[in-house]
A and B are shown apart, each in its own frame.
Chain A
């Protein structure tokens, strides 16, 4: 169980109102860039539909495509490993490094390795890991987790990054110029790339037909690491497989426009075979994915291509910050993925939403995110993981709504109370009010109004 839930963490985040406004506006700015990019594509909705259908098809035939991918990748000279959970994944990585007596590894962005807590595991086993994506490097130096899956340090001010870089990279004290700070990271990480013998990357898409996989970055960090190392390990969830190479045109058109409003990432690298004299390994990881695939109400979440459009548009995410979710993947999509892994621990997440539906509207592969959030709430209450104070109130409300007499009485009482004694409701003992403003009081109920006016009209 978490010590503080999402609502309590958000309250802490909201202590600094200016910062919340800044966070909110920065993410909304990215959402607007997404809108400009998508409105330039007349067939955008057709693309979303095609992306959604290809993913539906892939998941419905996943057993076949995983085996086809394995066969073709092996024929290409790639070594395939299977890991049922995070622990097995981590052991495979460590085993490969130990076999080559490697104690230092460079890693590009991979939410899967965050999910498996790979860095901690490797550090505990004597392997130093350097994250090479700039945002990930920053949170790694700050000993924090990424707060956003595409923009890992979106919660950080440049002055804070300046302080970190002054301490760790020797930049001048008080300097917070993004150009200067990025240059310092470039110099430092270039040295890392040139001296590491092992590199780990994530996988954006894997192609069953050809046994190749695609990695998308803007910085070029995945490729710098992979091409300079003797051994390249690519970690991927089993849901990343799609049938044909030509399907990439659909997903690459959708991905970056949804993520940052760019037409495509700077680099979309297709790895089909190991380079001459080098090793290429792929680890196929389950870690709860087959469990989610077996849940008809929630399997759609496995269609996610990790663009984070749902984060940027979410009014709750923008105003509560990624760390309030206390999960590897925050935001709306994280709130439907994480309860699958640990329902008790992440019972608060499906409630971290206004159910406005904006997430589902921007999702490039049409995941019904807000419907799933609503469904998770029901599962969580049923399984007994809901906040007890709210459960009592909900039961009372259900009873009231089920009885016309009680409903009328309660309505009148509420109007009178809110009008004359709002403090009875608007206080810290009311779990409902804590996260909401109470509405203005109408003069009469609809029932009362209707009775009066119908009489007048008759």
Chain B
């Protein structure tokens, strides 16, 4: 008998009588307005150590990036064509080559007000490492794509096919040394979210 068979047999003989799944309808009711969700998202993003800006166009984003980051002579990569003026596209095949990226600018699918997270999956870009390796990360999310909570978020991706996807909330962080919060553990040291 293989380990697979042994385990499955032991599970079958040990598991209790079937228990019902709960009804989750109550979690999908929301009372906040779109404006309230947007305000809540900005507040949460700031609380988790990131920045949020409401902007009206890519020109404004470029201007803000130029003022917030020292990018002269540094490598800036983007998966947003509208930013070609300040960034290169990533086309290589060995992702180790990304090690020297200073700033990464990425599109996102939607954002979640209650926890400040943005959802990204490989429909937007294939290379998973883009989210993790740059020193600084910039997200762009559409203003009308902010859901109040995770229940609504998973409703949007419930049947979606992806190879990889992630909720990303704030910069990489750790508090492992005496509970002192330090931003920039292994991933990006900062996260800026532009709401377009």
Contact = CB atoms under 8 A, between A and B. Distances in A.
Does chain A bind chain B?
yes
Interface of A: 26, 29-30, 43, 46-47, 49-50, 53-54, 56-57, 59-63, 66-67, 76, 82-84, 88, 132-135, 138, 151-154, 156-158, 161, 178-179, 181-183, 186, 189-190, 193-194, 218-221, 223-224, 227-228, 238, 243, 245-246, 248-250, 252-253, 260, 262-276, 284, 286, 290-291, 293-294, 296, 299
Interface in B18-36: 18-22, 24, 26-27
A276 B25 CA distance: 38
Contacts of A56: 19
Given A50-B27, A134-B177, A267-B187, 12 more contacts: A59-B15, A59-B16, A76-B163, A135-B174, A178-B182, A182-B184, A186-B186, A253-B150, A266-B173, A267-B131, A268-B167, A269-B164
Contacts of B163: 76, 272-275
A4 to B, nearest CB: 27
B15 A182 contact: no
Interface string B147-190: 00111011101100011111111111111111110101111100
B89 interface: no
A49 B22 CA distance: 9
Contacts of B131: 223, 267
B85 interface: no
Nearest to B5: A82
Main SS class of interface, A: helix
A46 B172 contact: no
A294 B21 contact: no
A62 B11 contact: yes
Contact of B22 (A54, A132, A269, A273): A54
11 contacts: A62-B11, A82-B2, A134-B176, A218-B172, A220-B132, A224-B132, A245-B158, A266-B173, A268-B167, A271-B164, A294-B14
Given A60-B17, A138-B176, A82 B186 contact: no
A7 B182 CA distance: 35
B106 to A, nearest CB: 14
A291 B13 CA distance: 10
A435 B138 CA distance: 55
Contacts of B182: 178-179, 182
Interface of B: 2-4, 6-8, 10-22, 24, 26-27, 44, 48, 95-96, 99, 112, 114-117, 121, 126, 128-129, 131-133, 149-151, 153-155, 157-158, 162-180, 182, 184-188
B11 A263 contact: no
A445 B163 CA distance: 71
Contacts of B112: 264
Contacts of B7: 66, 82, 84, 238, 284, 286, 290
B15 A61 contact: yes
A249 B176 contact: no
A220 B187 contact: yes
A83 B3 CA distance: 6
B167 A267 contact: yes
A253 B15 contact: no
A134 B11 CA distance: 36
A311 B11 CA distance: 29
A185 B59 CA distance: 38
A186 B135 CA distance: 11
Contacts of A154: 179
Nearest to B162: A272
A161 B178 CA distance: 10
B14 A53 contact: no
B173 A26 contact: no
A270 B14 contact: no
A267 B171 CA distance: 9
A271 B3 CA distance: 25
Contacts of A266: 48, 168-173, 187
A225 B157 CA distance: 26
Given A29-B179, A186-B186, A263 B48 contact: yes
Contacts of A296: 16
Contacts of B2: 82
B21 A253 contact: no
Contacts of B16: 59-60, 296, 299
B174 A270 contact: no
Nearest to A293: B14
A137 to B, nearest CB: 9
A84, A266, A273: most-surrounded residue (chain B CB, <10 A) = A266
Contacts of B117: 264, 268
A207 B13 CA distance: 22
B173 A218 contact: yes
A191 to B, nearest CB: 10
B8 A66 contact: yes
